[in-house]
Structure 1
Amino acid sequence: MNDHPLPKLRNQLLSLHKILMVAERAMYEKEGNVIQSPNHFLQLLMSDERFAWLRELSQLIVMIDEAMEEKPPITRERADALVDEAKLLLTGNNQAGTFSKRYAVLVQRVPSIAAANAEIEKHFGPPVVP
């Protein structure tokens, strides 16, 4: 597993998640909403429908973390499947309300998200067929 891109991909997804949270928070506050504290923001992330789309990425990061801690160590096939899952999440499903639809809009509008996306896409091979 040392030569597999999964650990690096996980770190890049975590950085992307932070960038997305900052961007979403800025848009939320620009609309006149007030976030009173970090704890209030955490509550919004966990329970407000506005932020629900971010939970899909959170769940994927947790799945990768759990897989990398498995005993015996994660197989290459399982690691490849998680990379494919990330690819599908970021590029594969443009139905209304899904992560990838909202994400695609932000990739076009926010340069830091586009840059993070470009780095992550380096881990993806040919298109994933769901």
Structure 2
Amino acid sequence: MALAAELSSALKELHRALIRAEIGDDPALQNPYTALFALIGDPRFAWMGPLSQLIARIDQQVADGGIAGMDVAAGLGAEAARLIGEGSGEALAAFRMRHVMALQKQPEAGLATGRLRKVLAKVLAQLPEAGETGR
């Protein structure tokens, strides 16, 4: 489904911007290999786990042909919306806080968030009950 691939692409763009914001000017992380190992094992990057897992899940479902209907895409879209603060869920409070911090540090994070919001609007517009969701 093209919409799921577009959602994945927007999430990846956000992920890259958040990584850049978190790395910042840290001289130890300017080397791409050092940055990669930090992303994998450094606790400073653990808050990005839900985003990374969502991207992997979407890509796997697209590859497997598992996104057959809008209900699946809508569920994934709702999960992405919660990550950027457009839904409820206390478990994501840490992600939301770090996302807001990244928005202040890295203009690319704001642009990526805006693109993601546009894609999420497309996903929601495809739902039959889109007018009834209160959005």
TM-score category (smaller protein): 0.7 to 0.9
Q: Which region of structure 1 is more displaced relative to structure 2, 74-83 or 64-73? A: 64-73
The structure richer in helix per residue is: 2
Residues of 2 paired with 1:11 and 1:52: CA distance?
21
- Amino acid of the structure 2 residue aligned with 1:110: Q
Give the drift of 1:13.
0.9
Structure 1 residues 89, 97: CA separation in 2 closer, same or farther (over 3 Å shift)?
closer
Query: Normalising to structure 1: TM-score of the pair?
Result: 0.77
Q: Percent identity?
A: 30
Residues of 1 paired with 2:34 and 2:104: CA distance?
29
Root-mean-square deviation over aligned CA pairs: 2.6
Which residue number corresponds to residue 56 of structure 1? Answer: 50
Structure 1: which 5+ residue stretches go unaligned?
none
Alignment deviations for residues 33-56 of structure 1 (CA, whole Å, 9 cap, x no partner): 523732221111111111111222
Which residue number corresponds to residue 94 of structure 2? Answer: 98
Query: Normalising to structure 2: TM-score of the pair?
Result: 0.75
Higher relative contact order (CA 8 A, sep 6+): 2
Say how many residue pairs are matched.
122
Structure 1 residues 103, 127: CA separation in 2 closer, same or farther (over 3 Å shift)?
farther
Give the alignment of 1:22-101 within 5 angstroms.
Answer: 22-27=20-25, 29=26, 34-35=28-29, 37-71=31-65, 73-91=67-85, 92=87, 93=89, 98-101=94-97
Contact 1:13 1:61 in 2 (8 A): yes
Contact 2:103 2:109 in 1 (8 A): yes
Structure 2: which 5+ residue stretches go unaligned?
125-132
Residues of 2 paired with 1:56 and 1:110: CA distance?
20
